[in-house]
């Protein structure tokens, strides 16, 4: 039997030394960064950069409830900045929200052709959303198309009501597209004299 080779034990000793040196270097770098940050904070404190900040002496908002909701910070940002998040909705949910605004959202359109065009565009977007591939374990969200004729009739009624309210607030007799206002049945029965 031969004894251990002297070169081999030197290599075995060199490997742990290299590993220690490799871990010691980042530790030293972190200590340098830490001292630099501490130094910058202390310098700012001496300069008074942290004096009279907004919210100084007040408790932090939602700090006690942060554990309940992991997204508390993003919800706070949305509320604080008053961000409109409708663009972030999935397409199907945005279409459902848009559909729920009909016919009131169409009242400002002056012509029936414009209403029909908007409703046809809505139906095309619904069909385009249905053609997209769906990934997931549950059922996809499905949005129904609108019946254009039914919605145009609802638009006419909503437009008449809107114009009547606008005319009443202006103190003028209500007219719909230049025609005399329609009298409701209760108006005819009370004003028979």
Q: What is the pLDDT of residues 25-80, one digit of tens each?
A: 566 666 667 788 888 988 998 998 888 888 777 876 666 665 677 887 888 888 88
Is the confidence at residue 9, as pLDDT, over 80?
no
Specify the range with the lowest mean pLDDT, choosing from 52-61, 88-97, 122-131. 52-61
Contact of 174 with 162, CB cutoff 8 Å: no
Q: What is the pLDDT of residue 125?
A: 94
Give CA–CA dist 126/102, Å, rounded: 15
Q: Any idea which residue has 């719909």 for tokens?
A: 176
Higher pLDDT, 91 or 33: 91
Q: What is the pLDDT of residue 145?
A: 93
Specify the range with the lowest mean pLDDT, choosing from 42-46, 128-132, 179-183. 179-183
Q: Any idea which residue has 């004729």 for tokens?
A: 149
Tell me what the pLDDT averaged over the chain comes to. Answer: 77
Residue 190 token pair: 């009370």
Q: What is the pLDDT of residue 147?
A: 93
Q: What is the pLDDT of residue 24?
A: 58
Model pTM greater than 0.75? no
Candidates 187, 181, 65, 161; CA nearest to 107 is: 161
Give Cβ neighbours of residue 134 (< 8 Å, ≥ 6 apart). 140
Higher pLDDT, 185 or 135: 135
Q: What is the pLDDT of residue 50?
A: 84
Secondary structure (DSSP) of 12-62: HHHHHHHHHHHHHHHHHHHHHHHHHHHHHHHHHHHHTTTTT-TTTTSPPTT
Give CA–CA dist 179/157, Å, rounded: 14
Q: What is the pLDDT of residue 193?
A: 44
């Amino acid at each position: 039997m031969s004894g251990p080779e002297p070169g081999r034990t030197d290599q075995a000793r060199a490997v742990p030394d290299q590993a220690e040196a490799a871990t010691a270097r980042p530790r030293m770098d972190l200590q340098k960064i830490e001292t630099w940050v501490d130094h910058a904070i202390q310098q700012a404190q001496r300069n008074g950069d942290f004096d009279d900040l907004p919210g100084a002496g007040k408790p932090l908002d939602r700090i006690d409830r942060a554990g309940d909701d992991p997204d508390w910070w993003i919800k706070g940002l949305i509320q604080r900045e008053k961000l409109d998040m409708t663009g972030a909705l999935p397409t199907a949910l945005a279409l459902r929200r848009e559909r729920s605004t009909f016919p009131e959202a169409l009242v400002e359109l002056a012509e029936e052709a414009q209403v029909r065009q908007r409703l046809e565009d809505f139906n095309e977007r619904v069909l385009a959303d249905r053609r997209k591939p769906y990934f997931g374990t549950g059922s996809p969200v499905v949005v129904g198309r609108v019946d254009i004729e039914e919605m145009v009739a609802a638009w006419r009624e909503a437009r008449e009501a809107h114009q009547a309210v606008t005319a009443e607030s202006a103190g003028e007799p209500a007219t719909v597209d230049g025609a005399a206002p329609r009298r409701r049945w209760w108006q005819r029965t009370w004003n028979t004299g």
